[in-house]
Amino acid sequence: MRKIGVISDIHGNLAALKAVLELLDSEGCEEIIHTGDVVDIGPHSRECLELLLSRDDVTCLLGNHDRDFAVNQTQVRNLSHVPAEHKQQVFATLTEELRQRVRQFPLYTTRSCGGSKLLFCHYAFKQQPFSIETYHLLPIAIPPTADKLDALFAGVDADAVFFGHKHEPCDIMGQRLYVDVGSVGCHPEPKARAIVIEYDDTSWSYNRVFAPYDIEATHKSMLADIACGEQLYDFYFLLNKGK
């Protein structure tokens, strides 16, 4: 059996990223797909980008925060919980070389596994010729249901879609299988999340895997090193904790 590791929404959490990459390497994954949002929120956006880009086995897809960095958009978006002050600080730590690399991230990618077509993306996107300037994600389905996801991903040519963006794992069967990978390390639990897809010529399956990491070190760094760190930690790491 061959293996693909799938991760999403690192959001600058280097400790969680290192933990999950070590786990996926130990699982024997031949490649790793990150479905978007390397930067913002956590304290180490630059280090996370550099680590992923240093590996030949990682495919990075474009998330909305990655896109904002690529076009240097720091204004607060509608429904966004990430302040402009934070984005300005984060983007200032990133280089022009990294910006140009991120501009090349694809919107989605597909793989043929066990006779099925799997599509990977950050979330449902507007069906149009893609350019980074016109990048547009569709509104998040809350709560996610088969009907809502069927509508959002209408017209997608795939048997299964793996995505992120909401940070909350789900597995829903509609007209196709919908799998929210869940954020690597932008959630209340001290474990980095990932998915491992196993496949051969005739079949495929997937499992959720977890790697423990030092969430308190991430917390301390957010408070000490980044703009609006306490606000971001309270919203993304403490809100609804334990539910």
The pLDDT score that the predictor gives to residue 78 is 66
Helix (H/G/I), strand (E/B), else coil: 173: strand
Residue 59 tokens, joined: 């495919």
- Please, are residues 226 and 41 in contact by the beta-carbon 8 Å criterion? no
The pLDDT score that the predictor gives to residue 220 is 96
What is the rounded CA–CA span in Å between residue 99 and residue 101? 5
CA-nearest of 23, 65, 26, 58 to 167 is 65
What is the rounded CA–CA span in Å between residue 190 and residue 20? 12
For β-strands 31-34 and 2-7, DSSP reports them as: parallel
The pLDDT score that the predictor gives to residue 206 is 98
The pLDDT score that the predictor gives to residue 127 is 77
The pLDDT score that the predictor gives to residue 81 is 86
The pLDDT score that the predictor gives to residue 75 is 84
- Residues in the chain predicted with pLDDT less than 70, given as ranges, are 78-79, 239-243
The pLDDT score that the predictor gives to residue 243 is 30
Q: Given the structure tokens 């934070």, which residue do they identify? A: 86
The pLDDT score that the predictor gives to residue 242 is 37
Output the pTM of the full model: 0.96
Helix (H/G/I), strand (E/B), else coil: 223: helix
What is the rounded CA–CA span in Å between residue 68 and residue 99? 10
